[in-house]
Every structure is written in C-alpha cells, then in structure tokens.
Structure 1
C-alpha cells in the first residue's frame, strides 16, 4: 500500500535498479574460469646434506595481494635447476601456509626470524583445534604432488578483505617447510617418522626434556637436527626450495566464500578453561603411534589400527571439499555425520616406482571429495566422528590423522535469477552500453510515471 501511495513510482524504479545491479555484477565477471590467475613462486633457499633437517617458518612470502579469492595451492621440493626431488632423497614431512597481520609501521620481515607477538596478530582458519594448533589455510606432506586442492566454482577462500584487516595492520602470509634429507640413512622410514633414537635427541626444540615414553615425532626432528646416516656415506650439500603455485581470481559479488576446518583424530575435545586458568590445553595432540599387531596391544581388526574421535561442528553449512592427511602406513580416513552418514572418505595413493611423484612405499597423493553443492550438509552443533585407519603389520611412530574440509554457508540457486552464481550467466552477452540502456530505461519508467501522475492531478483540479 505504501508503494502504491507514492504514485506507483518506487516499485518499478527499485526493480530497474536491482536489474541494473545484477547486470553490472554479471559484467564484472561473466565467467569465473576466464579470470583465473596463476603464479609460481619459490620459498627462500634451504640447504640440506645427508641426514639433515629443515623446519623453518618464512614470513612475508610472495603471495597474491589485494581482495582476492584463492582457488588452489600446489607445492613440491625442487633443486636450483627446478628439478623435482623424489621423496626417497628429501622427504617432505609437511608444508603449511598461514595468514597473519603485521603492524604497518614495522620493518619488513622477509626471513625466518621469529616474530614478536606484540607486533603481529595471527589469522587462523575456522578451527577447531586449540590456540594456533593446525590453523593453517593450506598444508600437505609427501602426498602433495597428487592431491587435488582446486576449489570449484563459484566457491573460493576469501583473503585481503579490507573489512577484516585490523586497523593499522596489513595482511601477510607465511610458510613452514619441514624436509628431511634421507640419502644414506640407516633407517629411512625411521628418519621420516622422526624416531628419537635415530636423531640422538633427549630434549625438544625449546630445550625441554622429552616426556616419558615419547619415542618419536616432530619434537625429535626439529630444525638442524640430524638423522643417523650409514658410516662412510658421502653425499653433496645442495640448495633446495619449495616451489609453490597459487591460483586466484579477483573478488566479486558472484563468489561464495568457504571456511577452512581442520580436524585431528587425536583431539580429546578438552580446551583451556580461561575462567579457571589451570586446566592445560590438551585438545589436538597432532601425532600418535601405531603399535604392531604382533604385540597384541593394538586396537586392531585384521592388523588395522583404528583411531576415532568425536568432534563438535561450531557452524553449519554445505561441504564443498574434503581430504585427509596420513603418513606411511595409512590406509584411509572417513568423516561421519552424527547420524552415521559418510561426509567424506579419503584414501592414500602409494607410489610404485622411483620417479618424483611415484615413489614406491610413500604416500604420493590422497583422494578428495567434491560433493554436489548442497548435497552434504552439516548443522551447527552437530557431533561428527573422525576415523583414521593405519596398517599395524609393523610399528609406526609419530603418524597423523588429520582431515580438511571446506564449508560454505550457502549454495548457488540457479533457479532463482536474483541469486544465481555469476557463471550461470556466462552465455549472456552484456556490454557497458547495455547497462546504459538499462539505466535509461529506468529513467524512462520514472518519467512516464511522473507524467501520468501530473496528468491525473490536472484532471482532478478540473473536476
């Protein structure tokens, strides 16, 4: 009634303006795929020799700038000539990419110096581990070469949004590279699993005594440690790099942002109680051991070690992507919904040869899940179950059971013109002149309505 009382002008004007906005959005990005930018960068150089370890954090790395949408991130270890290095020479334990905010008046940190907390704000993913544990945006290990990280249209990870950057700060990115040179190793698997006895360490990176019963893991293969090499073995020192390729597009109104969640099968669900301040953070332990089924101590079924944990999802949404992370010995991982439905099952791909990307005995890839948009929904507060399975035909130390998922709070609706994703309109050919025509049409509608209203008023005066 209120719209009609204004002489019928407001409603058609609003419709025309809405149409103009929709068309302008279409003009901005008629097809997402055509605008993808891809750039390959190199991490800072790191030098390894037989038995040595690289595990450093590099800050202010080369990365896309501005308000953009990340579509994929791929990485591998290469030498100075750009040649891919096989895992049986340099084992890529993991690489991680994270976001942080740096004060604008700070000097640039382009190296591996430790940052001062008072000058930086950590910008992690959406959870769910405690503190800064597992809060990276991207991260893989030996499986990096054959694991798909592409985010399908119209979804992407949003970065560089000015509204989300704290005042007085700028967005930066860091990368952590953990690589182990296993050439000439007396026990190559033992070195990659970071068994403490092979590294001859009794304290961790901070000089703290290792906890009782700790046999191996990242606390024993930190930066500059050395795994035991065969006596008399000689191998050249060499310069290596993490070569990483980032794909992105400029942000626009047709992209649906996704949240990054990383789950850990060792998560106990316990967190620090800030109000009390006395309970330790013992949530995500990140690593665990697999006992050999021959000892009879493993929870096994046909020499399969099964680890499970229950996790509470803080928000709801549609699952867009899923993938697990496991170490050698892994045979697959599954994320279940509260009702037992399978959200995603991810299985390892083992190499069969010697070439980089197909190294026998190593996990060289993980299968991924790309559900149809809207087909896999998780509700806020839903209790999920994560299961990670390992072969227990032999003992494994310091393995992991992580699971990455991307979640969107909405899905594209192609049946509704006003909410259709941009790439649905890829066949609509709209030029800037068309937008001008739409604008003129709006003015014409307003003009006709005004003329009609004036004539109507004149007739009333004559009466």
Structure 2
C-alpha cells in the first residue's frame, strides 16, 4: 500500500507540473512576489491646466530586488481612477539615479542648482542618451501588460552597482493635461501651441516658427484654451503606481531595458561604433495630413522606418511600443524583414476609465519563448512606426521598449536534453504518456491489493 501511495503522489506531482506555466514548471518560482502600492506627491489641476513636474526621491521598494511589473494610473482624492477625457495622461516615467549621501533633492529646480558631482544618472541600457527611464507609458497604461516573465526580473539595488558614498533613489515625471471643457480636447492633448498661446519654451527661449505643437508648448503650469465663460473647479490628483518584485537571488535571471526611438537621427558611417554618443533621439515628431502631402493613394498612413546597429546582444523576452492618438502600430524587424516583435494600439469605445472612446487605452505586447529570438551584437535592426495621416497630428511619439536577457534559464536535471531537443508540444506529449503509464500501473496494483483484502481507492 505504501508503494501505491508513493506512485499516486508521483502522478499528482506530474499533473501539477503540467498545469503550471512553462517557465514555472521547469525553472521554478522560488521567490514570493511582493506588492507595494505608492502615491505620487499630489498635484492640482483645473480645466485646461497642465502638470509636468519631476519629483525626486519618490517611494520605491528598497534592497536588492528584481522588479516583475510596474503599473500606474491617475486617481482622485477618493482613490477613484480618473478618465482620460477629463485628465489626459500624456506620459509618466520613472528613472533611477544615485545621489551622494547627505544631499537632498526634492524639486526640479533643485536639480539645476546643486553640484553635479553629487548626482549620477542610473539610466537604462538603451541607446538614446535622453531617454533614461526604467519604466514609463502614457494613456495606454491601464491595459498594457508590463509583467516580466519568469524566471526573469529587472535587477535593482545591487550594491555592486551603487558608487561608493552614494545611494540609489528614484525620480518620477508626470505629464498630465486637464481637458475638462476645453475648446479642443485632441488639440490640447497634442499640445498645439496656438491653443496654449505660448511663443517660448519652459526656459524662455523663442520657439521655432515651424514648431506647431509638442512638449515645448505644454510645459508645467501652461493653460490650454477653455470654452468661453467656463469656470470649472480645481481638484487634487495623484499618480498611483504599483510595483511587484521578488528578492534578488540566483533563481532570478536579470534583464536589461533598451528603448528605441523612431526619431533617432543615427546614420551608419565607416567610423560608426553604435555608441550612445552617436544617437540623437528627438522623442516627438509631427504627422502631416495626407491630403496636403499628396499621399492619399497610400491609404493615408505615415510610415517611418529607421535602421539601428545594435551595440549589445542577448535574448529578446518582452517588447511594447508607446504611441499617441492616431497611432496604428509599431514593430521591430531584422534587416532581412523578419518580424521580431510588434505592438498594436487598443482604442477605447466608451466613457469609463480604461475604455475611453478615441483614446489609446492599451498596447499589445510580445513575449517570445525563451531563446526564440536572439539579438547579435552589431546586428542591424529596423524600427517601424505607423500613424494615420488623415489629419494633422503634433507631438506624437514612436518609442519601443524591449527587455533583453544575457542568458537563458537552465532546465532542471534530467529534463535538460528533452527541453533542449523538443518543442513544448512534444514535451507535453511525452509527459502525458508517462502519466498514462503510471496511472495504469497504479490502477493494476490497487486492483491486486483490493483482491487481497485491501480497500481500493477509485481513480
């Protein structure tokens, strides 16, 4: 009877294994996922007003950790999500930095005043020098998957990476636009300069005559034009962000964050090295209407493609794009045209938060099987960004985030050869065959023991 119980336990164990996700079944999830919910400093908006500030030393999980996901949304004082047709979340970004111990930074202005030797950027691994964030999206944040698949994680808080005499901290940038009762909601969200009545940027520098809209016209405390005679109430808002992580140990494989930008001006030359210093990423661009460009026969699609030589190598495990209203998708290709990862916008169809009609409320993501897509150092990749050009759009973006791992997870023990030489369907077929054999053996043994006077347990 004891041997039957052992066989029964083995059968149950295999069934449980088969019910787990692929990565959990063979590499385990030894760490327990922890979750923390944080609030940004409060910001107050009235109809047409703009919040675009940098908050330093914001709350973030401490210690040597591996982040599994990061999600954010705008809420009111009661904790209710705020719809995009009331407050448009242009973007939010979270970046890491190192500051000398004893030095405090709290506001954007402080950053310009203190000694630069007290501050070191802890930027991501990407090739755009001005895109330093680790996390960040925009209006699409509520319906975009940001989970890092097992057994991977974004490693943070590694003592070996923190310069001596410094500590790791985090900054948060929130760019939100209140569009309640404005004259032109889309125009306000696209930061059209005429609607904001500005001719200089945040630093008082005159705007170019051909600059019609974008970040330079909707900086902090600017005002988009509201309907005549309207006087709305101001309200207090927060960015609520949720971080999920595990303690970093040998069971977690670190991944690096790379961000590409369709406006990158890099060009291959005989002396190109692909280093960060060769890249100039403008972040935003305009879409000219097809009726003005004579390209209506092309379906009124603005298609932009750039080629970039990779200064790194590794395995692609996740990808997602960031686009604004009018976006119809972005993709990453190999030079020969092979699709590596695509990300398409999800547009809302209603009024409730997360489904606002006319707004991008999500972006699809890609999760290649571990090892399926390898990027070679020096390889040329092609980034593509597509927008509808039926109408004029200002200040749109075409960013692409990817996570890359240096190594693949190692299968467990004797399953190593099976996993390396068969695809998942073949592996499951083999395991189910083993289960069937064990089940038959247990049934036969129980039947024999029942005939010998033991009480049989039905299967």
TM category (shorter chain) comes to 0.7 to 0.9
The yes-or-no answer on 1:249 pairing with 2:237 is no
**3-state SS of the aligned residue for 2:215?**
coil
Partner of 2:298 in structure 1? 301
**For residues 257 and 34 of structure 1, do their structure 2 counterparts lie closer, same or farther at Cα, with a shift above 3 Å needed?**
closer
Q: 1:342 aligns with which of 326, 339, 344?
A: 339
**For residues 298 and 261 of structure 1, do their structure 2 counterparts lie closer, same or farther at Cα, with a shift above 3 Å needed?**
farther
Provide the C-alpha distance between the structure 2 equivalents of 1:167 and 1:201, rounded to a whole number of angstroms.
45
Match runs of 1:173-192 below 5 Å: 173-192=170-189
Partner of 1:109 in structure 2? 105
Post-superposition CA distance 1:77-118 (Å, at most 9, x none): 000000100000000000000000010122x33455432323
The yes-or-no answer on 1:127 pairing with 2:126 is yes
Partner of 2:63 in structure 1? 66
Q: 1:227 aligns with which of 224, 228, 236?
A: 224
Match runs of 1:70-85 below 5 Å: 70-85=67-82
Provide the C-alpha distance between the structure 2 equivalents of 1:373 and 1:359, rounded to a whole number of angstroms.
35
Unaligned runs of 5+ in 1: 1-29, 272-279, 422-463
Partner of 2:363 in structure 1? 366
**3-state SS of the aligned residue for 1:219?**
helix
> In the TM superposition, what is the alpha-carbon distance from 1:301 to its structure 2 partner?
1.9
> In the TM superposition, what is the alpha-carbon distance from 1:260 to its structure 2 partner?
0.3
Conserved 8 A contact 2:70-2:244: yes
**For residues 320 and 103 of structure 1, do their structure 2 counterparts lie closer, same or farther at Cα, with a shift above 3 Å needed?**
same
The yes-or-no answer on 1:269 pairing with 2:258 is no
**3-state SS of the aligned residue for 1:32?**
coil
State the aligned residue count: 381
Conserved 8 A contact 1:337-1:378: no
Conserved 8 A contact 2:28-2:151: no
Provide the C-alpha distance between the structure 2 equivalents of 1:213 and 1:397, rounded to a whole number of angstroms.
12
Provide the C-alpha distance between the structure 1 equivalents of 2:101 and 2:64, rounded to a whole number of angstroms.
17
Conserved 8 A contact 1:412-1:419: no
Conserved 8 A contact 2:266-2:278: no
Conserved 8 A contact 1:313-1:382: yes
Partner of 1:99 in structure 2? 96
Larger Rg: 1 or 2? Answer: 1
Provide the C-alpha distance between the structure 1 equivalents of 2:259 and 2:150, rounded to a whole number of angstroms.
21
Post-superposition CA distance 1:292-333 (Å, at most 9, x none): 111125597211110111112111110010000000000000
Q: Which moved more, 1:109-118 or 1:176-185?
A: 109-118
> In the TM superposition, what is the alpha-carbon distance from 1:212 to its structure 2 partner?
2.9
Partner of 2:15 in structure 1? none
**For residues 93 and 401 of structure 1, do their structure 2 counterparts lie closer, same or farther at Cα, with a shift above 3 Å needed?**
same
**For residues 299 and 338 of structure 1, do their structure 2 counterparts lie closer, same or farther at Cα, with a shift above 3 Å needed?**
farther
Partner of 1:25 in structure 2? none
Conserved 8 A contact 2:39-2:239: yes
The yes-or-no answer on 1:171 pairing with 2:168 is yes
Q: 2:402 aligns with which of 405, 424, 429?
A: 405
Partner of 1:322 in structure 2? 319
Post-superposition CA distance 1:356-381 (Å, at most 9, x none): 10000000000000000000111001
**For residues 289 and 33 of structure 1, do their structure 2 counterparts lie closer, same or farther at Cα, with a shift above 3 Å needed?**
farther
**3-state SS of the aligned residue for 1:143?**
helix
Conserved 8 A contact 2:95-2:134: yes
Root-mean-square deviation over aligned CA pairs: 2.1
**3-state SS of the aligned residue for 2:141?**
helix
**For residues 113 and 42 of structure 1, do their structure 2 counterparts lie closer, same or farther at Cα, with a shift above 3 Å needed?**
farther
**For residues 64 and 298 of structure 1, do their structure 2 counterparts lie closer, same or farther at Cα, with a shift above 3 Å needed?**
farther
Provide the C-alpha distance between the structure 2 equivalents of 1:33 and 1:343, rounded to a whole number of angstroms.
30
Provide the C-alpha distance between the structure 1 equivalents of 2:321 and 2:126, rounded to a whole number of angstroms.
16
Post-superposition CA distance 1:230-264 (Å, at most 9, x none): 01112110000000000000000111110100000
Provide the C-alpha distance between the structure 1 equivalents of 2:30 and 2:145, rounded to a whole number of angstroms.
17
Partner of 2:8 in structure 1? none
Conserved 8 A contact 1:331-1:389: yes
